[in-house]
Every structure is written in C-alpha cells, then in structure tokens.
Amino acid sequence: MKTAQHYLADANAVVTRIPGAEAVPLHGSDAVFVDVRDSAAIAQSGTIAGALRVPRGFIEFAADSESKFHNPALSKDANLHLVCGAGGQAALAGKTLKDMGFGKVTNIGGIAEWKDAGGPMED
C-alpha cells in the first residue's frame, strides 16, 4: 500500500526541483508559472505575478486539450514552473503533467521561497 510519502518520492523522482532564486530570472521569459494552491491559500499570501491559478485537483482538466475546461496556456511544449505552499503539491501536480505528456515541467517549491528570492507577486 502506498503512503503520501511514496507518492511524493515518485513525483520528486520525475519532476525537477529548482530553487526560487533560479526560477525568478525565468519570470518574464516564455515560462508559464502555475500556482496549484486553492483560492483561499492564494488569497492569504498572493501569488506569482501573472501566474495561472489552477488548483491541483483541477490540473488534469485544465491540461487536457480535449476537456471543455482546457487552459490553452497549458500546451505540451510550454515551459511550466509549478509553485504551491511548500513544494509537495507542485511536485504531485508536476508528475501528473509529466504522465499526461508534458515534457518541460519544474517544481519551484513554495511561494515563500519565491518571495524570499525577490520574485514579483500579485494579490
């Protein structure tokens, strides 16, 4: 039987983690930043300026080009950088995207790390 730690280990094995300080210079490039937290968490802390807001529980629908809920910014060849509260949800969502055929997916960890690195924010 798998535990949460098993799922995290599996996700971390396939989704590259980069520190916030390395992710900040990517902002403003062709990178697509995705905040996978729910709206209440985002309301409390804000999010990355210009980030897509796609909760982890909805990522499959937003990423599936055949879904009526598809977000066109989530294209298979986009450079996707996921953030959450501490890095776990971003890793799990990243693995889901990898399983769906997305090739360029990274986990940039938690929003506090982004803020501490001087990353641009919005409410």
Which pLDDT tens digit goes with each residue over 78-121? 999 999 999 999 999 999 999 999 999 999 999 999 999 999 99
Whichever domain contains 92, its CATH number is: 3.40.250.10
CB 88 within 8 A of CB 36: no
pLDDT given at position 18: 97
**Pairwise CA distance, residues 104 & 94, whole Å:** 10
Q: Identity (one letter) of the amino acid at 23?
A: A
| Residue 112 lies in domain | 4-122
Domain count, the chain: 1
- What is the mean predicted confidence (pLDDT) over 25-50? 96
CB 53 within 8 A of CB 47: yes
**Pairwise CA distance, residues 102 & 21, whole Å:** 24
